[in-house]
Structure 1
Amino acid sequence: MQHEAHTEQVHRHAHHGGRPGGAGWSTAARATLHCLTGCAVGEVLGMVVGTALGWGSLATTLLAVVLAFFFGYSLTLRGILRAGVGFRAALRVALAADTLSIAVMELIDNGVIVLWPSARDAMLDDALFWISLAVSLVIAFVVTTPVNKWLIGRGKGHAVVHRYHH
């Protein structure tokens, strides 16, 4: 019994970067890319809808952030539910796994847009709208990857989700 627990622990560490207590950069990057996918879908949809409807910057940003969290959590929920976990338990796992990652990603992404001259005022047919959005998401990915590495290395974040993939 103790040997089986040790074997599982070794497998878990190998899966997360090959050393006890740590997570590999590739694992962290995959977790961040997963998070970025949901965030980007929500962010782009929110920015497009808000801009198309002529909403102000604050309302558009709030919609984009809400949708980023929604789609980010939804992608994680989908995988956990497919593993046969009940909805309430899956929701708790998704919240535990993604909240900090999505929050950091949204803070960085929207911070870049706010600090970029004229990006807040760019319209959908303006190259600046798309360029600033793409650059902000790349910067958010770069900043959030170490956060996910730290979380996974401590058995948090997407490490929680991985328990349901095996």
Structure 2
Amino acid sequence: MDHSAYHDGTAHDHAARQAHEGHGGHHTGRVTWGSAAKATLHCLTGCAIGEILGMAIGTALLWGNVTTMVLAIVLAFVFGYSLTLFAIRKAGLGLKTALKVALAADTVSIIVMELVDNGIIALVPGAMDAHLYETLFWTSLLGGFAVAFLLTTPVNKWMIGRGKGHAVVHAYH
């Protein structure tokens, strides 16, 4: 693997890259369901924060469904990437490298998560028109997260087993 993509010239990045090179290929091979579930839960946490915040803001401001959903999706990506970015910056990576790692680690997982949970919300009759104080708003949102978790976990397991997704982050812990 070309490690130059993970280097932005700082001493911390050099040390992280050296540790990465001795890491044996990002946990390729056998991956437990537990590690895949943990990676998915990490992704779900960031997505849920952004999604709930976006849906709540859009609903409270009486925005249309499309505008509300776009805000929720954008915030899900922002918070999803931010959680990973915070963790790997804390490990000593420079900002440029940390951004590349966060993008590599979370993009596919967040996309799958967002497609599933927003698809469910869009398909549940009345969910997009429900208000914050209605049970339908919260059950469709939380139900969408549950289904998204179940469908994204096998995706993350497959990706980690091939040295992709959250396997990239593990090289820097």
Assess same fold via TM > 0.5: yes
1:89 aligns with 2:97: yes
Where does 1:12-91 land on structure 2 (aligned, <5 Å)?
A: 13=27, 21-91=29-99
Amino acid in structure 2 at the alignment position of 1:122: A
Structure 1's unaligned 5+ residue stretches are 1-6, 14-19
Q: In structure 2, give the amino acid aligned to 1:58.
A: V
Task: Give 5+ residue unaligned stretches, structure 2.
Answer: 1-21
SS in 1 for 2:30: coil
Aligned residue for 2:138?
Answer: 130
Choose from 78, 99, 103 the match for 2:107. 99
- Whether 2:165 is the aligned partner of 1:157: answer yes
Task: State the one-letter code of the partner of 1:76.
Answer: T
Give 1:21 shift: 1.2
Number of residue pairs the alignment of both structures matches? 152
Which of the residues 142, 145, 148 maps onto 2:153? 145
Separation in structure 2 between the aligned mates of residue 8 and residue 111 of structure 1, nearest angstrom: 38
**1: CA distance, partners of 2:73 / 2:31:** 28
CA-to-aligned-CA distance 1:67-105 (integer Å, 9 cap, x gap): 000000000000100011000000000000000000000
Q: Which amino acid aligns with 1:151?
A: M
Which letter does structure 1 place at the counterpart of 2:107?
Answer: T
Aligned AA (2:91): A
What does residue 113 of structure 1 align with?
Answer: 121
Contact residue 22 and residue 154 of structure 1 kept, 8 A: no
Query: What is the root-mean-square deviation in Å for CA atoms of aligned residues?
Result: 1.5
TM-score by length of 1: 0.88
State the AA in 2 paired with 1:78: F
User: Which has the bigger relative contact order, CA under 8 A and spacing at least 6?
Assistant: 2
Aligned AA for 1:104? Answer: V
